[in-house]
Chains A and B, each alone.
Chain A
Amino acid sequence: MLTKDGIIKSIKHGFIEWVESIGASINESVKGLGNIVLFTVNFFYWVFKRPFRLHLLVDQLFFIGNKSILIILLAGSFTGMVFATQTYFGFKLINVDSLVGAITAIGLAKELAPVLTGLIVAGRAGSAMAAQIGTMKVTEQVDALEVMGINSIQYLAVPRIVAGTIAVPMLSAIFLYIGNVGSYLVGTTSLMIDEAIFFSKLSEFMHVADIWQGIIKATVFGFVISVIGTYFGFQVEKGAEGVGRGTNLAVIWGMISVLILDYFLTVVLVRIL
């Protein structure tokens, strides 16, 4: 039979367990974050050390950049078209539909191009980085590099992180360009906005600083996504299951980081630029 004391004891016990589990997960998160910071420090140490393996950088640029172009073209064009259409119907209510091209361009430049490019690259290349390195780790290929005297971070992480940092802003620029083409086509053909007004408002309201904001954001996203992808690759343990888990974590944390960083970068960049 349950007594009053027994009930109080079990509630206390449950509460303590709950607090302990929260403490443990906070502890794990802080440890994980610390490990990522150490990994990043390690990257900066090795990125300036010889030998510079340019062929590996080119391979990664091809993989992250070239192989993402098609999906970026698709995503960019349709995002520009949708954004222009939605803006048009909103703006028409207050008779400022002539601003559709300018607003779409600013929205794409500052937010949509870098963020969506970041999310796409996190899903495509970030996961691939974790899977490639993770598979190499569980099959002792990483150990083989180390035994040969090759630093695995320098050989595997450095080219991927550098390539990611270079490729994402470039992809974002393509996204921005093709998004504006989509916006222009929809605006002038389907929404019947005058072409001259479309361009005059665009040049009046859009500034170089807007493009810079997007490029800076995309560069940071590229770096962070690649650090996270490679970090989770090196954390892989326990065979195929571990590779799957590492890949999954790389995608989740890559995407979450893009969204969180976007806010903080916006706060900083609108003041600077």
Chain B
Amino acid sequence: MKFENPAISLQNVTKTFGEHTVLNNLNFDIPKNKITTILGFSGAGKSTLLKHILGVIKPTSGKVIVLGQDLAELDEYQKREFRRNFGMLFQYAALFDSMTTIENVAFPLKEFSKLTLSEISEKSQHLLTAVGLKSESFNKLPSELSGGMRKRVGLARALALSPHIMLYDEPTTGLDPITTKMVNDLIVETAEVNKENGLTTVIISHDVRATLEISDYVAFLDRGRIVEYLPVDQFKKSEHPLVKEFLRL
């Protein structure tokens, strides 16, 4: 599927590690302002794809263009600057365990914004409240929070610098059904609220049910190739044997 002015465009991207080809001539656009999910079995190349989008690793051949910028044209320093366009929610939230909840959210603001300390504190509290956290949790350490609460804090931290692209790495894996629903609602709500800012959402997952509920587009990655990429309603009816098998799971 091709889109006009996509947020992310992978053009003939191949990545090999020694003899092993992880991404195989990938051509793939991710539209702006939509929720796109990349599904696939373990080892399909999802994480490698994510690292290419972030510019953490370079493709062996091909181009990765994000927000109109070819990542290959950026040096290491510029790439780091450019990465501030991304927000990312990790599978286990990846909160800094030596910092409290509010310090975690304030961290990117302290590092990159020119806000005063009181403005940072105010914005951090606002972000935490927006993701549904109560003030009594603001000064708790990550180890004192539940899995769902950690995800909320991780999301608040990821949104702190108003990113243009929000990446979710296996956001619902290993969560109970209630927390899964909460995280899904949060993803949709975040995408809706930030639509005006042009927020593009990319989810890497193998959780089919959660994905189909919230995505606009779904791509299926298998052995380094996108074998199916459709709007969610069409994806549900896909005749591709692998997709059909995956949807049955």
Contacts and interface: CB of A to CB of B under 8 A. Distances in A.
Interface of A: 51, 135-136, 139-141, 143-144, 146-151
Contact of A149 (B83, B95, B97): B83
A151 B79 CA distance: 11
B86 interface: yes
Residue with the greatest number of chain B CB neighbours at <10 A, chosen from A51, A141, A147: A147
21 contacts: A136-B96, A136-B97, A139-B97, A140-B91, A140-B92, A141-B96, A141-B97, A144-B95, A144-B96, A146-B83, A147-B54, A147-B56, A147-B88, A148-B107, A148-B108, A148-B112, A149-B80, A149-B82, A149-B84, A150-B80, A151-B80
Contacts of B94: 139-141, 143-144
A144 B56 CA distance: 12
Interface residues of B, number: 20
Given A141-B96, A146-B56, A149-B84, 20 more contacts: A135-B97, A139-B94, A140-B90, A140-B91, A141-B94, A141-B97, A144-B88, A144-B94, A146-B83, A147-B56, A147-B83, A147-B86, A148-B84, A148-B107, A148-B108, A148-B111, A148-B112, A149-B80, A149-B112, A151-B80
A137 to B, nearest CB: 11
A148 B81 CA distance: 9
A143 B86 CA distance: 13
A149 B81 contact: yes
Contacts of A139: 92, 94, 97
Contacts, number: 44
Interface in B111-142: 111-112
Nearest to B157: A144
A146 B50 CA distance: 13
B206 to A, nearest CB: 18
Contacts of A135: 97
A92 B84 CA distance: 71
Nearest to B81: A149
B88 to A, nearest CB: 5
Interface string B147-162: 0000000000000000
Contacts of A144: 88, 90, 94-96
Contacts of A149: 80-84, 112
Contacts of B90: 140, 143-144
A148 B84 CA distance: 6
A67 B81 CA distance: 36
Contacts of A147: 54, 56, 83, 86, 88
Residue with the greatest number of chain B CB neighbours at <10 A, chosen from A141, A146, A150, A151: A141
A51 B82 CA distance: 17
A257 B158 CA distance: 41
A119 B3 CA distance: 61
Contacts of B91: 140
Interface string B63-103: 00000000000000000111110101011101111000000
Contacts of B83: 146-149
Nearest to B90: A140
Nearest to B50: A147
A22 to B, nearest CB: 25
B99 to A, nearest CB: 10
A52 to B, nearest CB: 13
Contacts of B111: 51, 148, 150
Contacts of B56: 146-147
Nearest to A135: B97
A148 B96 CA distance: 13
Contacts of A146: 56, 83
A18 to B, nearest CB: 27
Contacts of B88: 144, 147
A45 to B, nearest CB: 10
Contacts of B95: 141, 144
Contacts of A151: 80
Contacts of A143: 90, 94
B22 to A, nearest CB: 18
A42 B82 CA distance: 21
A150 B82 CA distance: 11
A140 B80 CA distance: 17
Pairs A-B, 7 closest by C-beta atoms? A140-B94, A149-B80, A149-B83, A144-B94, A147-B88, A140-B90, A149-B84
